[in-house]
Amino acid sequence: MSKDRKTSRRKRNTIILFILLIPIFVGDIFIILQGKLPFLEMGIPLVLTFLLFITLFFFIKRKDGQKIEGDERNERIEGRAFTYSWCLSLYVVIILMLNDTLELFEISTSQCLFYILSVMLVTNLVFRATLNRKGDIEN
Amino acid sequence: MISHVKEFRARMDLTQAQLAEAVGVRRETIVFLEQGKYNPSLRLANLIAKHLNTKIDELFDFSDEV
């Protein structure tokens, strides 16, 4: 794939990601303006938006920065990190479902989402860094 | 896997960064490749062999894995 095509695809993806963030921002503004929710409940969507922004920032920075498109080791690492983090997030989902069934702790839906997304994001970064230190991820 | 990339690269008087740029990968990939810690794809092995004016079987020795 030519460099120009890659650049235009990257720009298009960035625009799409920003467009997808608009409804979240509008939602956040409504939540703040209404001010009906308790502080903790109101903070969670804002923290989630912040996490999304951080992810997006690193995503764009990485694409425009030192990462070389098509580096096969990078691609393998990214794929593996996503798989591992997804599996761990699924594990967290199961734990939360068990918690709900056994009625151990009272957790709201937004708190659930916060836990799942946080685990997904943090484990992805951790796995990526760990796998990056290893030579071959197939080993 | 025993890698001879380092010897061939030295013969061509190339740095790891130069080779990495020439074949379109990160320098770390070349580092792990030279240490024999990373199995490259056939495409990458072929690209490196081309840039180092050699053949894949001269660059990588898999005899210890057979």
Give how many domains chain B has, as a whole number: 1
Q: What is the pLDDT at residue A37?
A: 64
In the predicted model, is pLDDT for residue A68 greater than 50? yes
Residues of B in contact with A67 (CB under 8 A): 26
User: What does the alpha-carbon distance between residue A86 and residue A121 come to, in Å, rounded to a whole number?
Assistant: 9
- pLDDT tens across A115-137, in order? 888 898 889 889 988 888 887 76
CATH code for the domain in which residue B41 is found: 1.10.260.40
Residues of A in contact with B25 (CB under 8 A): 68, 70-73
Q: Cβ(B59)–Cβ(B12) under 8 Å?
A: no
Q: What is the pLDDT at residue A20?
A: 74
pLDDT band at residue A74 using 50, 70 and 90 as cut-offs: confident
User: What does the alpha-carbon distance between residue A29 and residue A22 come to, in Å, rounded to a whole number?
Assistant: 11
In the predicted model, is pLDDT for residue A84 greater than 50? yes
Tell if the CB–CB gap between B35 and A135 is shorter than 8 Å. Answer: yes
A119 three-state secondary structure: helix
User: What does the alpha-carbon distance between residue A131 and residue A71 come to, in Å, rounded to a whole number?
Assistant: 15
Instruction: Give the gap in angstroms from C-alpha A87 to the nearest C-alpha of chain B.
Output: 25
Say yes or no: B63 contacts chain A, CB-CB below 8 A: no
Q: Does B26 reside within a domain? A: yes
User: What does the alpha-carbon distance between residue A15 and residue A46 come to, in Å, rounded to a whole number?
Assistant: 21
Within 8 A by CB and 6+ apart from A62, the residues are none
In chain A, pLDDT over 90 holds for what percent of residues?
11
> How many CA atoms lie within 13 Å of A74's alpha carbon, on the beta-carbon side?
14
Which residues span the domain enclosing B53?
A: 2-57
Going by their DSSP bridges, the two strands B2-3 and B60-61 should be labelled as: antiparallel
Tell if the CB–CB gap between A73 and B38 is shorter than 8 Å. Answer: yes
- pLDDT tens across A2-57, in order? 556 666 777 777 787 778 778 777 877 777 777 766 666 666 767 777 777 777 66
Q: How far is CA A117 from the centre of its chain?
A: 6
Q: Does B62 reside within a domain? A: no
Residue of B nearest to A67 (CA): B26
Tell if the CB–CB gap between B25 and A73 is shorter than 8 Å. Answer: yes
Is this complex scored with an ipTM above 0.85?
no
